[in-house]
A and B are shown apart, each in its own frame.
Chain A
């Protein structure tokens, strides 16, 4: 059974870079769209972007200039980097396995707070 687990710092200083990793267990990173989604406190979900197992990526246009998603097949991990963070980037960050139609497996989420 495939499981996802996010990891990374829970506190990031304003203007610095947020870096998170998602470890995939119980299966390999193939075929799917490995996705990052976030949820600011008390708000809804926001699709950040994905990396396909082929290495192709696509990002939310509102974040595109600051986001990079990468893949490490040897470690069965994919990562998120978000530069120049502000308080608006404070959120719970989820990694998820995406198909073309939905996001069927999610990690438990990791809370990231941007401090000034």
Chain B
């Protein structure tokens, strides 16, 4: 199980959109629609923001959206706000009841 590939860092201005990519393989991201995204503020536990590629849990603003094309999933945050500054991790089901995370992306607003 190799970690999914994410950019180390991305940045954007308040009010602007930003997209974070997550590249896997045909055995994980490409094979299943079970990609999830987590936001982690410094010193805190990760929080689920997106599941099943594009679904939002209750309470997550619709400024966050997810998508997938082939072996690459993406998280887009529109209308960046200061609270969006955090680390973001993607995760994919990898078959045989195993999961794999991405290396994480630091978003600077």
Question: Which of A44, A60, A98 is in CB contact (< 8 Å) with B1?
Answer: A60
Question: Which of A46, A100, A102 is in CB contact (< 8 Å) with B48?
Answer: A102
Question: Which of B1, B34, B97, B104 is in CB contact (< 8 Å) with A62?
Answer: B1
Task: Flag if B48 contacts A104 (CB, 8 Å).
Answer: yes
The yes or no answer to A34 lying at the interface (CB within 8 A) is no
**A101: chain B residues within 8 A (beta carbon):** 34, 36, 51-52, 93
The yes or no answer to B107 lying at the interface (CB within 8 A) is no
The yes or no answer to B12 lying at the interface (CB within 8 A) is no
Q: How many chain B residues touch A (Cβ–Cβ < 8 Å)?
A: 25
The yes or no answer to B29 lying at the interface (CB within 8 A) is no
Question: Which of B45, B48, B91, B104 is in CB contact (< 8 Å) with A108?
Answer: B45
Q: How large is the interface on A (under 10, 10 to 19, 20 to 34, 35 or more residues)?
A: 20 to 34
Q: How far is the CB of A90 from chain B (nearest CB, A)?
A: 17
**A103: chain B residues within 8 A (beta carbon):** 36, 38, 46, 48, 91
Question: Which of B51, B89, B91, B96 is in CB contact (< 8 Å) with A58?
Answer: B96
Q: How far is the CB of B89 from chain A (nearest CB, A)?
A: 5
**B45: chain A residues within 8 A (beta carbon):** 94, 106-109
Complex Cα–Cα for A54 and B1 (A): 25
Residue of B nearest to A62 (CB): B1
Task: Flag if B93 contacts A100 (CB, 8 Å).
Answer: yes
Q: How far is the CB of B102 from chain A (nearest CB, A)?
A: 7
Complex Cα–Cα for A100 and B99 (A): 10
**A87: chain B residues within 8 A (beta carbon):** none
**A94: chain B residues within 8 A (beta carbon):** 45-46
Complex Cα–Cα for A61 and B98 (A): 9
Question: Which of A60, A61, A102 is in CB contact (< 8 Å) with B36?
Answer: A102
6 cross-chain CB contacts under 8 A: A44-B102, A45-B89, A47-B91, A47-B101, A104-B57, A106-B45
Chain B residues close to A by CB (< 8 Å): 1, 3, 34, 36, 38, 44-48, 51-52, 57, 89, 91, 93, 96-104
Q: Nearest 8 pairs between A and B by C-beta?
A: A102-B36, A102-B51, A106-B45, A45-B101, A44-B104, A44-B103, A47-B99, A58-B97
